[in-house]
């Protein structure tokens, strides 16, 4: 269909260490669990409320998989650009069809950028040697309490 766009932009924190798996073709894939949160103050009670959404991120780019494995840990804050994909699979125990919605990072229209800690920007894109512009994610603060109203 002409005139359509499938692009997802997310900023969030990893809820677990990345999971690296080998595919049948011998290449590696990284799976990330990314949390995005929004907070607000309840107008009636004045109580602070928060809602967290969890996103499955799948990285197919071999160079990025290596960087993810080496530098990203639970709690790291990242920015991702990718495409949303829903895949269908069959549950072996029940035989029922199951569906997974994922953000896929693959190809030239995708990127993953580490945020926080250091001052180099830490961009990881589909670069043949992405290790050259990495920063230490261990310095990422875990405090997400800010007063930004959106």
Rounded to two decimals, what is the model's pTM?
A: 0.70
- 5 pLDDT above the threshold of 90: yes
Q: What residue ranges define each of the domains in the chain, with the CATH number in brackets?
A: 8-37+49-138 (2.40.50.140)
Higher pLDDT, 129 or 35: 35
pLDDT at 134 over 80: no
Q: Beta strands of 17-146 (E only): which ranges?
A: 19-22, 28-41, 48-59, 77-90, 97-105, 111-115, 123-125
- pLDDT of res. 2: 77
The more confidently predicted of residues 9 and 136 is 9
pLDDT tens per residue across span 87-115:
998 888 999 999 999 999 998 889 999 99
Give ∠ CA 79-84-85 in degrees, rounded to 5: 140
Mean pLDDT of 72-87: 95
Segment (H or E) for 138: none
At residue 101, the pLDDT reads 94
Buried b (16+ CB within 10 A) or exposed e, 77-110: bbbbbbbeeeeeeeeeeeeeeeeeebbbbbeeeb
Q: What is the pLDDT of residue 89?
A: 85
| pLDDT the model gives residue 117 | 58
pLDDT higher than 80, residue 6: yes
Mean pLDDT within 45-69: 93
The per-residue pLDDT of the chain, averaged, comes to 81
Q: Which residue has the higher pLDDT, 90 or 125?
A: 90
Structure tokens that stand for 75 in this block? 């709690």
Dihedral, 11, 70, 142, 35 alpha carbons, nearest 10? 40
What is the reported pLDDT for 41? 93
Task: Please enumerate in sequence order all residues whose Cβ is within 8 A of that of 53, keeping only pairs 6 or more positions apart, or say none.
Answer: 35, 36, 37
Helices (H) and strands (E) in the chain, counts: 1, 8
The mean per-residue pLDDT over the stretch 128-139 comes to 36
């Amino acid at each position: 269909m002409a005139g359509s766009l499938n692009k997802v932009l997310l900023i969030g924190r990893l809820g677990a260490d990345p999971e690296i798996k080998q595919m049948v073709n011998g290449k590696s894939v990284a799976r990330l669990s990314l949390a995005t949160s929004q907070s607000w103050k309840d107008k009636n009670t004045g109580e602070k409320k928060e809602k967290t959404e969890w996103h499955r991120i799948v990285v197919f780019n071999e160079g990025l998989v290596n960087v993810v494995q080496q530098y990203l840990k639970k709690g790291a804050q990242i920015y991702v650009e990718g495409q949303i994909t829903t895949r269908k699979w069959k549950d072996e125990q029940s035989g029922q069809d199951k569906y997974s919605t994922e953000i896929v990072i693959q190809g030239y229209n995708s990127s993953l950028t580490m945020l926080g800690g250091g001052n180099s920007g830490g961009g990881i894109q589909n670069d043949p040697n992405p290790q050259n512009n990495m920063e230490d994610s261990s310095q990422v603060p875990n405090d997400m309490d800010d007063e930004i109203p959106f």
